[in-house]
Amino acid sequence: MAFATRRFILLNLRNLKYSLYSANARKNTLRHYSKALVSFKIDDKQNTRRLQTTNTYNKSVAFKLSDIGEGIREVVVKEWYIKVGDKVQQFDNICEVQSDKAAVTISSRYDGVVTKLYYEVDQTALVGQPLVDIEVEDAEEDSSQKSAIPEITKEVPKSEVKSERIKVLTTPAVRRIAAQFRVDLSNVNATGKNGRVLKEDVLSHLNMSSDKSNDIPQNDLSVEALSIPVTTGFAKMETIVEDKIVPITGFTKAMVKSMTEAMKIPHFVFSDEYDVTKLVESRENLKIMAKNRGVKLTYMPIIIKAASLSIAKYPIINSSPDSNCENIIYKASHNIGVAMNTPNGLVVPVIKNVQNKNIIELARELNSLQEKGSKGQFGFNDLSGGTFTISNIGIVGGTYTKPIIFSPQVSIGALGKIQVLPRFDSEGNVVKAHILSVSFAADHRIIDGVTMASFSNQLKEYLENPQVLLLDL
């Protein structure tokens, strides 16, 4: 009896020791497995999903939208150049964002694979918040963690695997064509930059020319006619419409800020008419010469240069008050802004140091700014630093207006359209004349009416007599 009891005790002690050893082993194993990256593999032949554990050598980094200056706290995502799954390197373009001052291209600071996009196009992104997640290589992983780990498989029905929809990088026009012809863009061979699907790619996929891209398939137009009895009567149709709320973003938001600030300025307006008949004749000759140099010459470069020469004689037009309006700062550079209507709204790009440039140079720079405006590619430097502004309302029509000053500037000029009107010459005869209507607004705290009228008269002399302008160049 004693022998049996002693054997039972020894057996229980052995089992207890084994249990403790097994518990420690399981604990170490779980600790080791917690460092593993779980990945899934699909076995098409067995219709199952395999769960495999492997060591992790990568880590995901949240790429945050850094401060882009000028006190900007939020931007609107206008276009993504990458998608989830794309490999990026340092300095690769990630997206284009639109602030209330300019469009900015954001580039990557990491090498890796994009795993998440935090915003859709036209959504607002905040400075300091994550923009994308990038899985980057972790060079500091200990080499001892590269040991093989047993493979654990788990049978999972294939039906539980959810397919991920691939987001294709393209434009709304191309999506319209794809939807019209029921084309899956993920099956189209993309030839554009960063895998972008172009219109030509879709047309090539459909084996059709661009002339037929606006055609609508006949199958979508087949409608069966039904016989409906018509009853004579009177009915009033009312169309139900709903209000639409659109957030104020981009250049519109910048205009809200600048115009709110401008309403603090006491404006006064001075208007006049310039007889620019001789300028019209001179410009026709100069336009041919400029074309031979590869430059498109409009009236605006000539007017900008004439305004700069007039500012040199009345420098207070090119000044601004300090923050407390206790001192007047006379600006040395003539940085003249030109208001432009772009697809993104009204913007005022600035031509710097006009006093040091000739008319051809001004025309070339103005053409470059107009091209940037049509593509929405203005940068901060293009839109900042203005000291005087000219707005050409004559492009869209109109003669006189009351322009609003862009703070901290103290004056602005607005040009109406050039009209052919009857006027009396020096001998009292009625002649055909080209009349330009101009309007100036000035900050009455800094500029008085006499100064504004004198500046306008000087500009008038230059534009009515181009020979005088040439003498002062």
The answer, yes or no, to whether residue 436 has pLDDT greater than 90, is yes
Pairing of strands 156-157, 48-55: antiparallel
C-beta of residue 133 within 8 angstroms of C-beta of residue 115:
yes
Mean pLDDT confidence for 358-373: 93
- Out of 48-52, 64-68, 184-188, the most confident range is 184-188
Name the nearest CA neighbour of 189 among 181, 197, 177, 180. 197
Model confidence over 320-335: pLDDT tens digits? 999 888 999 999 999 9
- Which tops the pLDDT comparison, 423 or 163? 423
Q: Residue 387: what pLDDT?
A: 96
- Give the model's confidence band at 12: pLDDT under 50 very low, under 70 low, under 90 confident, else very high: low
Name the nearest CA neighbour of 382 among 95, 104, 122. 104
Q: Residue 191: what pLDDT?
A: 78
Question: Of 27-41, 160-174, 278-292, 390-404, which gets the smallest average pLDDT?
Answer: 27-41
The answer, yes or no, to whether residue 56 has pLDDT greater than 70, is no
- Which tops the pLDDT comparison, 239 or 318? 318
Amino acid identity at 380: F
- Distance from chain centroid for Cα 72: 14
The answer, yes or no, to whether residue 355 has pLDDT greater than 90, is yes
The answer, yes or no, to whether residue 145 has pLDDT greater than 50, is no
412 secondary structure, DSSP code: E
Name the nearest CA neighbour of 336 among 360, 355, 315. 355
C-beta of residue 347 within 8 angstroms of C-beta of residue 374:
no
Amino acid identity at 368: S
DSSP string, 191-245: -SGGGPPPHHHHHHHHT--GGGTT---GGGT------------------------
Can 444 be counted among the known catalytic residues?
Answer: yes
> Phi-psi category of 185—alpha, beta or left, where left has phi over 0 and alpha has psi -120 to 50?
alpha
Q: Residue 124: what pLDDT?
A: 87
- Which tops the pLDDT comparison, 317 or 64? 317
Name the nearest CA neighbour of 123 among 249, 244, 255. 249
Question: Of 94-108, 209-223, 416-430, 434-448, which gets the smallest average pLDDT?
Answer: 209-223
The answer, yes or no, to whether residue 181 has pLDDT greater than 50, is yes
What is d(CA 367, CA 374) in angstroms, rounded to the nearest whole number? Answer: 11
- Distance from chain centroid for Cα 129: 19
Amino acid identity at 364: R
Measured CA to CA in angstroms, residue 235 lies from 229, 231, 238, 352, 446 at distances of 16, 11, 10, 64, 64
The answer, yes or no, to whether residue 54 has pLDDT greater than 50, is no
Output phi, psi for 56, to 5 deg.
Answer: -100, 130
Question: Of 158-162, 305-309, 389-393, which gets the smallest average pLDDT?
Answer: 158-162
What is d(CA 446, CA 358) in angstroms, rounded to the nearest whole number? Answer: 30
What end-to-end distance do the CA atoms of the chain give, in Å? 127
Output phi, psi for 240, to 5 deg.
Answer: -90, 120
Of the residues 138, 220, 448, 472, only one is catalytic, namely 448
SS (H, E, C) 75-143: EEEEEECCCCCCEECCCCEEEEEECCCCEEEEECCCCEEEEEECCCCCCEEECCCEEEEEEEECCCCCH
What is d(CA 426, CA 430) in angstroms, rounded to the nearest whole number? Answer: 10
Percent of the chain with pLDDT over 90: 36
- Out of 51-55, 212-216, 222-226, 250-254, the most confident range is 250-254
Average per-residue pLDDT in the chain? 78
Q: Residue 242: what pLDDT?
A: 83
Q: Residue 343: what pLDDT?
A: 81
Amino acid identity at 360: I
What are 63's two structure tokens? 């790429």
Measured CA to CA in angstroms, residue 384 lies from 68, 234, 388, 409 at distances of 14, 62, 12, 12
**Cα-based torsion angle of the residue sequence 33, 35, 40, 46 in order, rounded to the nearest 10 degrees:** -20
The answer, yes or no, to whether residue 42 has pLDDT greater than 80, is no
166 secondary structure, DSSP code: P
Domains of the chain by start residue, with CATH: 59-136 (2.40.50.100), 172-204 (4.10.320.10), 261-472 (3.30.559.10)
C-beta of residue 265 within 8 angstroms of C-beta of residue 453:
no
Q: Residue 147: what pLDDT?
A: 41
Q: Residue 146: what pLDDT?
A: 41
Question: Of 60-64, 143-147, 328-332, 381-385, which gets the smallest average pLDDT?
Answer: 143-147
Q: Kindly give, in sequence order, each residue whose CB lies less than 8 Å from that of residue 369, ignoring residues fewer than 6 positions away.
A: 338, 340, 349, 351, 378, 382
Q: 400: helix, coil or strand?
A: coil
The answer, yes or no, to whether residue 453 has pLDDT greater than 70, is yes
The answer, yes or no, to whether residue 293 has pLDDT greater than 50, is yes
